[in-house]
Amino acid sequence: MSESLFRRERYLKKIRPYYDADDIIKVVTGVRRCGKSCLMKSIAGELLERGVPEKDVVFLDLDSRRLRGIRTPDQLEEAVGAKLKDDDPKFLFIDEVQNVEGFEDVVNAYRNDGGFSVFITGSNSYLLSGELATKLTGRYVEFDMFTLGFGEYLQMKSHLGQALENDTREFETWLREGGFPRSLGFTDPQAKDAYARDVVDQIIEKDIKARKKIRNTVAFERSMAYAINNFAATTNLSNVVEFLRDVEHIAVKHQTLSGYLDLLENAKLLYKCPRFDLKSRRSLRGEEKYYLADPAIYRARNTDARLNYGPALENALFTHLLSKGYSVSVGRIGKLECDFIVRKGDEYAYVQVSMTVADSKVEEREYAPFSKIRDGWPRYLFTLDPLRNQRDGVRHLNLMEFLKEDGDLF
């Protein structure tokens, strides 16, 4: 089943401890086409390799031509039942489970009966974290999946037998074209761009518009364009409302705009990064940043696809840290901003990101927030500089090398 698959070890090693846990539902979420289906097939392949009989690995892809007509819990129950050969313990995989409204009734029943280790994937708001606890009446564990990180991108190109250029060229290409796995199958840049546009269009149509009636589609499209074009920038809703009114000549209320951003976030097209004030130790509402699930989303919505390194590097590190299980927020220290405050468990780190600090003024600007931090948690400066000066206890790392090596902060 999985001989030719590129196995995403970053996620497999998180899920392996739960393979045999029939009392815990395994939920894989992520933006459409990020590789969830292949991950499920990789898990199924590993089970077969360790000796699980093929009859005990039940796999349903609800986006497939044969099964896409399944829309009700009863139909889903019937489809699963048709694949059961006996009463032996089973591994049940249901891909794109959100296609069935009320799927939780079936999934909960198999988990409650015992003898079924259940894995499900989904792309959109029907699998929101906040709602899973009510839909899945019992224990579950959620894994948020992302498109290919830089290290994975290089590994998958090698897996496909594609020639690799030097790391700098490959890094620029990845920053510009993104890491949707299927796009690596296209060598023509125009074909890659067309694929990215199709993916984004599917997300908008299937994961947003098909599930939420949008009365003013023009306002939604312009609001989405603003969010995508200004990724990694502070988002002040009042300023966006004014921009849409004065420049785009579109009237959008605060509440409506906030709802649009929620839809984009729920569809995993964007990720919100909250702002945290270090002095008051409080989260600040209304000054969040939004980052793209993949760089290709920007290219899909822009004719000018020139690379803007500042936001692109921030976005790359942000999604990497999320994929590694860190919580990330933007830090405010008086009038200064710390790009990221990173947390995992009880450990913290402070992070700045810049293309280069070769210019002394840029160097001082990037180090300034660190000088205001009074605690002893580690501090990192990420750049693309080949020669990195260490100062003031700050670790200066090369971002490209860090991402290539699938780096961790702690």
Q: What is the CATH number of the domain that holds 65?
A: 3.40.50.300
Distance set, CA 331 to CA 95, 144, 309, 336, 352 (Å):
38, 24, 21, 8, 10
Domain assignment of residue 201, yes or no: yes
Please report, rounded to a whole number, the percentage of residues in the chain having pLDDT higher than 70.
97
Q: Measured between alpha carbons, how far is 42 from 5 in angstroms, rounded to an integer?
A: 7
Quick check: 3 pLDDT over 60? no
DSSP 391: B
Domain assignment of residue 218, yes or no: yes
Q: What are phi and psi for residue 24, nearest 5 degrees?
A: -125, 125
Q: Using pLDDT thresholds of 50, 70 and 90, give the confidence band for residue 2.
A: very low
Residues 158, 298 share a domain: yes
Distance spanning both ends of the chain, measured CA to CA: 36
Domain assignment of residue 395, yes or no: no
Residues 175, 114 share a domain: no
Residues 23, 103 share a domain: yes
Residues 45, 187 share a domain: no
Domain assignment of residue 66, yes or no: yes
Out of 17-21, 126-130, 304-308, pick the least confident: 126-130
Residues 187, 157 share a domain: yes
Residues 55, 85 share a domain: yes
Residues 174, 66 share a domain: no
Residues 154, 141 share a domain: no
Domain assignment of residue 163, yes or no: yes
Residues 170, 89 share a domain: no
pLDDT tens per residue across span 163-213: 999 999 999 999 999 999 999 999 898 899 999 999 999 999 988 888 788
Q: Measured between alpha carbons, how far is 30 from 37 in angstroms, rounded to an integer?
A: 11
Please report, rounded to a whole number, the percentage of residues in the chain having pLDDT higher than 90.
82
pLDDT at position 128: 60
Q: Measured between alpha carbons, how far is 279 from 273 in angstroms, rounded to an integer?
A: 19
Domain count, the chain: 2
Q: Measured between alpha carbons, how far is 356 from 117 in angstroms, rounded to an integer?
A: 49
Out of 30-44, 276-290, 294-308, pick the least confident: 276-290
Domain assignment of residue 326, yes or no: no
Residues 258, 154 share a domain: yes
Domain range for 38 is: 9-145
399 compared with 207, residue with greater pLDDT: 399
pLDDT at position 1: 46
Q: What's the residue count for the chain?
A: 410
Domain boundary among the residues 145, 160, 191 is at 145
Instruction: Supply the CATH number for residue 290's domain.
Output: 1.10.10.10
Residues 160, 139 share a domain: no
Residues 263, 220 share a domain: yes
Quick check: 129 pLDDT over 60? no
78 compared with 138, residue with greater pLDDT: 78
Q: Measured between alpha carbons, how far is 194 from 299 in angstroms, rounded to an integer?
A: 10
pTM of the model: 0.93
pLDDT at position 209: 87
Domain boundary among the residues 145, 177, 211 is at 145
pLDDT tens per residue across span 28-42: 999 999 999 999 999
266 compared with 152, residue with greater pLDDT: 152
Domain assignment of residue 124, yes or no: yes
